[in-house]
Amino acid sequence: MFLGHYGLALAAKKIAPKVSLTMLFVAVEFVDILWPFLLLFNIETVKIHPGFTEVTPFEFVHYPYTHSLFMGVVWGLIVGGSFWFFKKDTKSAVVVGLAVLSHWFLDVIVHIPDLPLTPFGDFKVGMGLWNYKAITILLESIIFFGGVYIYAKSTKAINAQGIWGLWIMTGFFLLANAYNLFGPPPEDNVMVLFVSFAVLQVIVLGLAWWVDRNRVGQIK
């Protein structure tokens, strides 16, 4: 799941207008931001097998500390609790925490059975939608464009950048997703993966900051 996570973050802006879009992007992708660091230190493991599924060549061999349901709850409590500590906004903190946890529930739809429930056992789940590229594209598009629509309707551009910035960000997501789906597989090299993910996150979070600072929502 790629577009779907960000679609959910965009939609969450409607119910948590005090939370920046950058923070919501960090929340829904928190475990994927953490994951490359654990790969770098050989705590978690991934292999690249072109054709492993129709959608992604990644074989997620071992990643219980970032992508298990149990740790999703733990990370949600940590990130949501940290947000509350600094902002003292309970509603927003709950939304942030749930956004972190949402990553696992969206992933379980698309992943093959490789998502662990806890770091302490071998039982893994996954509905395997990644074996069906067309259905995956349809589902992610619905979630993503739904999120873009909700964000656009629940915020208002305060200048021209707020209008075309949203379109640029949307276009970037579509291009990045198309490359993921139809481009060549990445190198089976942890450092290359680490740098690639880092660059992607910098661009995405920079776009979120830029778009959100040029739009305003109704604080309820």
Q: Examine the pLDDT at 220 and tell me if it is beyond 80.
A: no
Provide the phi-psi class of 126: left if phi over 0, else alpha when psi is between -120 and 50, else beta. left
The Cα 213–Cα 217 span in angstroms is 11
- Residue that is written with structure tokens 């969206």 in the block: 106
Label the pairing between strands 155-157 and 45-48. unpaired
Q: Note the pLDDT tens digit of each residue in 166-210.
A: 999 999 999 999 999 999 998 889 999 999 999 999 999 999 999
Q: What is the dihedral of CA 41, 4, 158, 204, to 10 degrees?
A: 30
Query: What own/partner pairs with CB < 8 Å and gap ≥ 24 does 166-170 have?
Result: 166/211, 166/215, 168/207, 169/207, 169/208, 169/210, 169/211
Q: Is the pLDDT at 139 greater than 70, yes or no?
A: yes
First and final CA of the chain: distance in angstroms?
31
* CA–CA–CA angle 7, 12, 15 (5° rounding): 155
Pairing state of beta strands 155-157 and 215-217?
Answer: antiparallel
Taking CA atoms, 101 is separated from 32, 151, 177, in Å, by 12, 20, 22
Single-letter amino acid code for the residue at 91: K
Per-residue tokens: 165: 């910035």
CA 31 to chain centre: 8
CA atoms within 13 A on the CB side of 81: 6
Geometric angle at alpha carbon 180, from 43 and 174, rounded to 5°? 125
Q: What's this model's pTM, rounded to 2 decimal places?
A: 0.94
Predicted confidence (pLDDT) per residue in 1-30, tens digit = 789 999 999 999 999 999 999 999 999 999
Residue 45 — φ and ψ, nearest 5°? -135, 140
> Could you give the dihedral angle defined by the CA atoms of residues 134, 139, 144 and 146, in that order, rounded to the nearest 10 degrees?
130
Given this model, what pLDDT does residue 218 score? 54
Res. 149 pLDDT band, cuts 50 70 90: very high
111 within 8 A of 32, measured Cβ to Cβ:
no
Instruction: Report domain extents, the chain.
Output: 2-217
